[in-house]
Amino acid sequence: MDETKPSEGVVLTPRQLRNRRLRNLAIGLSVGLLAALFYAITIVKLGPGILRPEP
């Protein structure tokens, strides 16, 4: 092994790079959807309670 040459590590193929980008995008969208879902659930379940003034 040529020790003078720096290691390139794992080199991804164009297909692997493209699919990794798509996976990241899908994870981002899913997390965003989950946050929006929990926001909506919170508003529906607690909304009237939040808006009702303390006696």
Partner 1 sequence: MSIASHNESVSPIGVGDYAAGPAEYFALLKPRVMSLVIWTALAGLLVAPTHVHPVIAVASILAIAVGAGAAGALNMWWDADIDALMARTRLRPIPAGLIDPREALFFGLTLSFLAVLTLAAAANLLAAALLAFTIFFYVAIYTMWLKRSTPQNIVIGGAAGALPPVVGYAVATGSVTLDSLILFAIIFVWTPPHFWALALVKSGDYARAGIPMMPNVKGADRTRLEILIYTLVLVPLGILPWRMGIGGDLYAAVAIAAGAGMAFMAMRVFRIREGSRASKAAMQLFAFSILYLFLLFSALVVEHGFGLIERFGL
Interface with partner 1 (CB under 8 A): 12-13, 15-16, 18-20, 22-23, 25-26, 34, 37-38, 40-41, 43-45
Q: What is the DSSP letter of 10?
A: P
The string over 10-43, giving b where at least 16 C-beta atoms fall within 10 Å of a residue's C-beta and e elsewhere, is eeeeeeeeeeeeeeeeeeeeeeeeeeeeeeeeee
Of 32 and 34, CB closest to partner 1: 34
Of 6 and 48, CB closest to partner 1: 48
Of 22 and 32, CB closest to partner 1: 22
